[in-house]
Chain A
């Protein structure tokens, strides 16, 4: 499902990943743990083709990313839900409109679109803010909106870049439970975090199934 093999990546002279390898099977739930600036975001960007490795191979959803062209890349990305670290919300669109973007891109329209959006707004507790703009809602609510937008197309793979770092502890566990539910339905999930205790804390609190944990340190990944 996700396979990184001997991947090297650097920003000019600054090496971020050195012969990094890991494998996450289809339907698995993985945590990517690492400190600030350890390269978590860079690694996740490599997975959805926003960055290209200097060397090594990246395979995601059975697709070698090196073989993707500008015309096939968009269709590959539609299978992935991404929770961006910096939200990436469109400030001049309402909560409802922001949530509808991925659905509209795949051609969903009319009543089905409205139902999908409303269902997720209910599920995320954002229904009262549907006509509000991102600047008018709290950071917690923004984070929920970003997560909702990432999962609205029922992606095969969900990549979440530090989605719980700005959430309060109870909401953090709720969000992870939501990811877990998605994982239970078959979506492969990879969540990055700076908190090394988060996987254990979540498993204990929710009595959840064990998760894969990958630690990223000094450019190397250890399972």
Chain B
């Protein structure tokens, strides 16, 4: 085992410039992946914070009494995308304004000398799978057609959900691209080193090295590139994050479990690349290795 490890270090150390170039490329790809993950996490967090807020709020006109509003709510709830509708009375909206604006809220109340300027409203919750800008606009269009409704407002759910879906897609695509490019890069770097070590591998093979002896340096080289490359990518991203932290405000860095997953994936890609590179090498030099 000790000799296998020594051999692996020799293998890695032989093509330093080749390794450095590969590490830079892998680190850059990981940096891009981190950026997508960061965006994805931020949008996902923003969306989860808004889970308790209704995506649509329909304001009823002042002539509508509570009973009529509830009947109307029952009517529009027939829309397949609507999950449920909460009726908020004029009084409750006034109380909310008081709570939300504090002393200003009392000022508003007093300014209207006892009369309530807030309309009653219907908070419309939509099935989370259906939340999209298009669906919400369609629902709002349908509701606005009723005379009892003065206005319908969007609370930003639709756009955010659309962006979230796009970001999800982009993140999955970027993960796939990262894996593919890293695999090809690491494999190419290992193969190049293998070709450089051709004479030694040939000698080892003829003096009794097992396939394990020969394969181990290839795999370790892959692990080295995958691990160091991903860690470098994370460090670069952290430096950029630290540089722009004032502009980013409260946005959180990528959580630990995702960082560990990135490095772990890097190591796995390294192992797979190492095995694949050895197979390619063995096929190219089959006459030397097997017979």
B290 within 8 A of A: yes
Cβ of B180 under 8 Å from chain A: no
A23 within 8 A of B: no
Within 8 A of B (CB), among A98-140: 101-102, 104-107, 109
B14: A residues at CB distance < 8 A: 92
A210 CB-CB contact with B under 8 Å: no
Number of residues from B at the complex interface, CB < 8 A: 19
Do A71 and B206 touch (CB < 8 A)?
A: no
Give the interface SS of chain B, mostly helix, strand, loop or mixed. Answer: helix
CB-nearest residue of chain A relative to B201? A90
Tell whether B78 is near chain A: CB-to-CB under 8 Å: no
Binds A, one of B16-24, B97-105, B207-215: B207-215
Residues of B within 8 A of A84 (CB): 206
Contact (Cβ within 8 A) B208 A78: yes
Chain A interface, >50% SS class: loop
Question: Which listed residue, B207, B290, B291, touches A101 by the CB 8 Å rule?
Answer: B207
Give, as a whole number of angstroms, the nearest-CB distance from B1 to chain A: 9
Interface residues of A in 66-86 (CB under 8 A from B): 70-71, 74-78, 82, 84
Q: Which of A52, A89, A102 makes the CB contact (< 8 A) with B208?
A: A102
A171 contacts the other chain (CB 8 A): no
Of B3, B6, B205, B207, the most chain A CB neighbours within 10 A belong to: B207
- Residues of chain A within 8 A (CB-CB) of B206 are 48, 50, 77, 82, 84, 88
Q: State whether the Cβ of B203 lies closer than 8 Å to any Cβ in chain A.
A: yes
Between B199, B203, B291, the greatest number of chain A beta carbons within 10 A of the residue's beta carbon is seen for B203
Q: Complex formed: what's the CA distance from A109 to B6 in Å?
A: 12
Shortest CB–CB separation between residue B10 and chain A, in angstroms?
8
Supposing A90-B199, A90-B200 touch, asked if A102 and B291 sit within 8 A by C-beta, the answer is: no
> A181 at interface (Cβ–Cβ under 8 A)?
no
- Point out the residues of chain B lying under 8 angstroms from A106, CB to CB: 208
**Is A77 a contact of B210 with CB atoms below 8 Å?**
no
In the complex, whether B257 has a CB less than 8 A from a CB of chain A is no
Nearest-Cβ distance from residue A110 to partner chain B, whole angstroms: 10
Q: In whole angstroms, how far apart are the Cα atoms of A115 and B211 in the complex?
A: 28
Q: Does A51 contact B (CB under 8 A)?
A: yes
Q: Is the CB of A74 within 8 A of B203?
A: no
A105 touches B3 (CB 8 A): yes
Contact partners of A70 in chain B: CB under 8 A:
211, 290
Measured between beta carbons, the chain B residues less than 8 angstroms from A71 are 210-211
B289 to chain A, nearest CB (A): 9
**With A50-B291, A70-B290 as contacts: A77 and B200 at CB distance below 8 Å:** no
Tell me which residues across on chain B come within 8 A of A76, comparing CB atoms. 208
Complex Cα distance, B3 from A106, in Å, reads 10
Residue B204 lies at the interface, judged by CB distance under 8 Å to chain A: yes
Which of A75, A89, A90 has the most B CB atoms < 10 Å from its CB? A90
Contacts of B70 in A (CB 8 A): none
Q: Assuming A77-B206, A88-B199, A92-B14, what are 15 further A-B pairs, CB within 8 angstroms?
A: A48-B206, A70-B211, A70-B290, A74-B209, A74-B210, A78-B208, A88-B206, A93-B200, A101-B203, A101-B204, A102-B208, A104-B3, A105-B204, A105-B207, A109-B3
Q: Provide 8 A-B residue pairs closer than 8 Å at the C-beta atoms, listed in order of the A residue.
A: A51-B291, A71-B211, A82-B206, A88-B202, A101-B203, A105-B204, A109-B2, A149-B207
B interface, CB within 8 angstroms of A: 2-3, 6, 14, 199-200, 202-211, 213, 290-291
A-B CB proximity, top 3 nearest: A78-B208, A77-B208, A104-B3
